[in-house]
Amino acid sequence: MRAIPGTPFDPVEDGDKLKEECGVFGVTGVSDAANFVALGLHALQHRGQEAGGIVTYDPEQGFNSARRFGYVRDNFTRADVMATLPGAIGIGHVRYSTAGSKGATAIRDVQPFFGEFSMGGAAIAHNGNLTNAAQLRKELIERGSIFQSSSDSECIIHLMARSIQKNIAERIKDALRRVEGAFSVVAMTRTKLIGVRDPHGVRPLVLGRIGDSGWALSSETCALDIIGAEFVREIEPGEMVVIEGNKVESTRPFNQAPSRFCIFEQVYFSRPDSILQGRSVYETRRQIGVELAKEAPVEADLVCPVPDSGTPAAIGYSQQSGIPYAMGIIRNQYMGRTFIEPTDAIRNMGVRLKLNVNRALIRGKRVILVDDSVVRGTTSRKIKDMILDAGAAEVHFRIASPPTAWPCFYGVDTPERSKLLAATMTEDEMRDWIGVDSLKFISLDGLYRAAGEAAGRDPKSPKFCDACFSGEYPIAPSDKIAEGFEMKAAE
């Protein structure tokens, strides 16, 4: 056995994937809201695996909440926990904890946030990121607000507490008009379920119908499917819906702005069985593979996905190119988040905890590997090593997104710019650094085409937020600029 220079662990833990930071879900008009919310959050677990929280309201028991670290399935399935969450209305949140806030007090950062106002209580759950939260926080503390968390989202509830509106929905409007950034918010009062999307509609939010009397709001449609709810429509950018009983009231509290939905939701974040902008996410991703095969063909024996996120694009690439699709890399389905680091003795052997090569299949073959993105590039190198160690004749990487060269400030956990491989290298340099026979990314135009924009990207008015690829930020990241972040120079 020859020595293996590096060994593949979890690309997500390695910081080699962009991480969606949140999923939100809410229901009203059902007999046991907490169970519905738990199922919805379970279906949204891919949007945040570190922690989750649920708030419900019951006329007799009042507002109740439970917030826990860990998977939904491990917390919000326990009878003792669920028994504390009675009521017919509830909202929930799953999240990643961002670097630095994890520790003894971090449970305070787990949403939903709750506030008791003079007209009653309200809870909010926020997906996205506020780009002026630092300024708002400073101002609120000076005026006597006591923050309980390090989360930017907590600003919203304090702004609501200080609003002079008599009605919670109006207070939410007051608060959200003060914030900048990306937000899909699900909120609740004793009787109302409320959903809002920011003017650009960066993060997703959809409306669903539960039987004849219930409603759901969800980050994605897959969470409607899990509870058997019917997908009604997307909440529109800049729209606020207030649901009470059977009435869904829609208003537009903000100034009009161009729609700029996050294109990375299409590439990676959303689940393949969700529907985004009227199309199956799976189908969009398969189409990315088709475009990629057209843009970057290569002679080879097998097309293999890097599991699991590269699978739909690999299927598309195979179908367009005619090169057989194969499971060249197998993911261990029992992998959890808690596996300890192997000891040195084992590490030196070349441990394959999460992924294993189908050695008998790969030996002697020219292999095309399809992955969703390259962030730091560390995982790509490890996978290449593993494939070559199994005896592949050639390795060609095809990436289902353009080079990721800019950080996201709208609710995605990205490494700082200097850690992004594409921020410091050309495509050829990346190919050499990773050590493969060829490396090709889909073009931004190709990605837009796969996402349904037949004409590709309109540089004057792009339909998506693609700042991570283009460096063009639709909303100025003012806190970050105050900290010294340098925007891309105008061309």
Q: Which residues carry out catalysis?
A: 22
Residue 5 lies near a second copy (rule: CB under 8 A) = no
Is 222 annotated in a binding site? The answer is no
Closest distance of CB 434 from a second copy, Å: 22
- Of the residues 18, 22, 51, 66, which one makes contact with a second copy according to CB under 8 A: 66
Residue 147 lies near a second copy (rule: CB under 8 A) = yes
List the interface residues with a second copy, window 157-196 (CB under 8 A).
Answer: 157-158, 161-162
> What is the x/- site pattern for a second copy, positions 198-237, by CB under 8 A?
-----------xxx----------x--xxxxxx-------
C-alpha distance across the termini of the chain, in Å: 52
Closest distance of CB 465 from a second copy, Å: 23
Q: How far apart are CA 184 and CA 206, in angstroms?
A: 10
Which tokens hold the place of 308?
Answer: 């699991």
For residues 260-282, one letter each, b for 16 or more C-beta atoms within 10 angstroms of the residue's C-beta and e for the rest, the string is: bbbbbbbbbbbbbebbbbeebbb
Is 465 annotated in a binding site? The answer is yes
Residue 391 lies near a second copy (rule: CB under 8 A) = no
Residue 137 contacts residue 147 (beta carbons within 8 Å): yes
Q: How far apart are CA 385 and CA 168, in angstroms?
A: 57
List the interface residues with a second copy, window 394-423 (CB under 8 A).
Answer: none
Helix (H, G, I), strand (E, B) or coil at 477: coil
Q: How far apart are CA 383 and CA 389, in angstroms?
A: 10
Dihedral sign for Cα 163, 168, 174, 176, please.
positive
- Phi, psi dihedral angles at 261 (to 5 degrees): -70, 140
Is 408 annotated in a binding site? The answer is yes
Residue 361 lies near a second copy (rule: CB under 8 A) = yes
- 120 vs 415, which CB is nearer to a second copy? 120
- 180 vs 225, which CB is nearer to a second copy? 225
- 258 vs 324, which CB is nearer to a second copy? 324
- 148 vs 443, which CB is nearer to a second copy? 148
- 75 vs 378, which CB is nearer to a second copy? 75
For residues 81-101, one letter each, b for 16 or more C-beta atoms within 10 angstroms of the residue's C-beta and e for the rest, the string is: ebeebbbbbbbbbbbbbbeee
Which tokens hold the place of 329?
Answer: 């890399």
Closest by CA position to 243, among listed 88, 67, 35: 88
Q: 3-state SS of 59-84?
A: CCCEEEEEEEECCHHHHCCCHHHHCC
- Phi, psi dihedral angles at 18 (to 5 degrees): -70, 145
- Of the residues 144, 416, 483, 489, which one makes contact with a second copy according to CB under 8 A: 144
Closest distance of CB 248 from a second copy, Å: 17
- Sheet containing 302-305: order of strands: 302-305, 366-371, 394-399, 438-441
Residue 72 lies near a second copy (rule: CB under 8 A) = yes
Q: Which helix or strand (DSSP H or E) is residue 258 part of?
A: none
Which range touches a second copy (CB under 8 A), out of 69-77, 128-136, 234-242, 251-259?
A: 69-77
Cα–Cα distances (Å) from 299 to 42, 110, 235, 319, 459, in that order, read 41, 49, 45, 14, 33
Closest distance of CB 208 from a second copy, Å: 10
Size of the site for a second copy (CB under 8 A): 99
Long-range contacts, stretch 478-483, CB < 8 angstroms, 24+ apart: 478/131, 478/132, 478/135, 478/180, 479/131, 479/132, 479/133, 479/134, 479/135, 480/131, 480/409, 482/134, 482/135
List the interface residues with a second copy, window 6-35 (CB under 8 A).
Answer: 30-32, 35
List the interface residues with a second copy, window 295-324 (CB under 8 A).
Answer: 308, 311-312, 315, 319, 324
Closest distance of CB 54 from a second copy, Å: 10
Closest by CA position to 258, among listed 454, 409, 450, 474: 474
List the interface residues with a second copy, window 100-119 (CB under 8 A).
Answer: 103-105, 115-118
Which range touches a second copy (CB under 8 A), out of 187-195, 270-278, 392-400, 404-412?
A: 270-278
- 260 vs 352, which CB is nearer to a second copy? 352
List the interface residues with a second copy, window 364-383 (CB under 8 A).
Answer: none
- Of the residues 22, 23, 49, 288, which one makes contact with a second copy according to CB under 8 A: 49
Closest distance of CB 420 from a second copy, Å: 26
Is 213 annotated in a binding site? The answer is no
- Of the residues 330, 393, 423, 425, which one makes contact with a second copy according to CB under 8 A: 330
Dihedral sign for Cα 116, 121, 126, 131, please.
negative
Is 371 annotated in a binding site? The answer is yes
Closest distance of CB 459 from a second copy, Å: 30
Helix (H, G, I), strand (E, B) or coil at 163: coil
Residue 482 lies near a second copy (rule: CB under 8 A) = no
Residue 338 lies near a second copy (rule: CB under 8 A) = yes
Q: Which residue ranges make up the annotated binding site?
A: 262, 309, 371-372, 408, 465, 468
Binding-site annotation: residue ranges for Mg(2+)? 309, 371-372
